[in-house]
Chain A
Amino acid sequence: MTNISKSKYKDYKADRLKYPEMENGKPIIDLESHKFTKIWQGPQHPGVTGNMSLEVIINGDEVVNSKTHVGYLHRGFEKLMERRKYIQCFPIVCRMCVPEPDTNEYCVSAAMEDLAGIVIPEKAEWLRTLNLEMSRLGSFLMWIGGQASSLGMGAIGQWTIGMRDFWLDLFEEMTGGRVYHMYMIPGGVRKDLPAGFKEKAKDLIIKTRNLLFDIEKSFFNNAIVKSRLIGLGIISPEMVDEYGIVGPNARASGREYDVRINNPYVKYAELNIKMITSTIGDAYARAELRYQEIHQSLDLISQILDKIPDNGEIQAKLPNVLHWKIPAGQTYVKAESTRGEHGFYMVSDGSEYPRRVFLRGASYTHAISVLEKLIVNVSISDIAALMVSLQTCPPEIER
């Protein structure tokens, strides 16, 4: 096996004085000159995270310019909700994100409760915390499989998707649904925990930790992974404010911003939780940070299971939801999804229908502005790894 560090190509850099020719800091891209090629990556490319496509212009195998195109997934949820009663909104919001639907459910329910002035029972808050943290874990397990697969390590993807399925089994016991749970409704949650749930969850936490130990050995200590991810897609601390970067992408660049800690919601204020940050800001730092957050998530789930009360109400009293009028007002409720700040802006005009519901997803900036900035000079084979390391999710962009 050749030693990568001694390879003569290691320090090779394309001669930017020749190609592409620059003018006012921007490359002159003339496709007729035969120096550039335009290719489309997506919407059916296996390396693209979901239904979006990149219009990439390459010079050799390095990206010169890229544009993100969305519109393959537009379902008009925000427009739909303007014509639906408040309670009819709640089964469609979870469809906005497949790996992590519960954050949407929580934000919409909490926004309605905030506008209507409803306080939910304590046990319902604990159950919401458990549900949110489990969905974060499921999404992270899906992400780590994607990150490994984008570098050609398909086996890790199969392990983690398999492990996520066991967590989906627990979701099924808890809520009745595997992918879309529709668990948190305005006023509380739909169901209590079934008998024997806590024991099963604790067993599964041990199994997941064992799997993570394997992943650490095979993924994070892998020479190929390190050589490809270190130095890829560096986000500088100045970029965080300029581009509105949130979540693990911002924390890996040193920004201490986690909604669970900065603006605690449900019961996160009563849990022992620490901010995880890094200062390097490249794709490997983001991967390591998310790996630590998986461990944090498991730790939080076991804390919640210990603290959850056995008895208590799980639903606050609501008026007849079919004729429910919420007082006029505006609110913005946010939560920490695996991708970062995830919020709903809801405007009520005092009628039975919401005036405006808007989803602020982290990928809206990560997949368009940030990706278009970071992708320049990246090798075409690393585009998939870069996209997964930003954890882009197209349903949040188009809604």
Chain B
Amino acid sequence: MEYLLNKIKKMIKFEASIKQRDDLYFITVKKEQLELILSYLRDNEGFTHLAFLQAVDYLEDNKFQLTYMLYNYDIKVNLGIKVYIDREKAEMVSIHKFWAHSWQYQRELHEMYGINFPGSPRVEESFVLEGWEEIPPMRRDFNTLEYSIKTYYQRPGRSTNDPAKYMKEKMYKKYAESPKIRRDND
């Protein structure tokens, strides 16, 4: 596997490689190199299985990280290819020509993260959320609490208590008053 990584390194200049386990490696490549390296790994090096394609949101760096996880049946190694893309104008090249199921992941990322994949089939179709008008919900700046307060209402007759205060006042009242128990402020 190290031999292969050196070989790829001679071909293109990738940024970093990490060995997580004996059967799991990660490399970071540039956005423009992705198609080249995927087609090379699939056709020449036997990484024929695309396990998944997913995104990670780095809000503080203003970046999305896309991970393409490949698998080689012969040497039994997983290789994750990481690509960083701009978060503001999130757009990535579609890989639906390499694997017939990759459009599904791209459709999900389009809906959940708002990443565009021009040319990917059925990418505009809704996957889970029909009629969604907010910002894409898996982005880290989506405020889940605010959305649920705005959208749903509480069932009448229910109230919320602060757990620590409630336990002290109602459930453990006699223990709180008991002089035998040593408390922190004693």
* Interface residue ranges, A against B (CB under 8 Å): 70-71, 74, 76, 78-79, 82-83, 114, 241-244, 246, 255-257, 262-263, 329-332, 334, 341, 343, 345, 347, 355-356, 358, 360, 364-365, 368-370, 373, 398
Contact = CB atoms under 8 A, between A and B. Distances in A.
Nearest to A76: B137
A114 B21 contact: yes
Given A243-B100, A255-B73, 11 more contacts: A71-B129, A71-B130, A241-B48, A263-B76, A330-B67, A330-B80, A331-B20, A332-B80, A345-B67, A364-B52, A364-B101
Interface in B70-129: 73, 76, 78, 80, 99-101, 103-104, 126-129
A365 B101 contact: yes
Interface of B: 18, 20-21, 23-24, 26, 48-52, 54, 56-57, 67, 69, 73, 76, 78, 80, 99-101, 103-104, 126-130, 137-138, 140, 144
A243 B73 contact: no
Nearest to B69: A332
17 contacts: A70-B127, A79-B144, A82-B140, A83-B144, A243-B99, A244-B49, A257-B49, A257-B73, A331-B24, A334-B78, A345-B67, A345-B69, A355-B56, A356-B57, A360-B69, A364-B52, A373-B100
A369 B122 CA distance: 12
A242 B80 contact: no
Contact of B52 (A241, A242, A360, A370): A360
A363 B76 CA distance: 22
Contacts of B67: 330, 345
Contacts of B76: 262-263
B127 A329 contact: no
A241 B98 CA distance: 10
Given A70-B128, A79-B144, A114-B20, A369 B100 contact: yes
Nearest to B82: A330
Contacts of B24: 331-332
A74 B128 contact: yes
B20 A330 contact: yes
A317 to B, nearest CB: 22
B104 A242 contact: no
- Determine which residue in B57, B103, B127 has the highest number of CB atoms from chain A within 10 A of its CB, and name it: B127
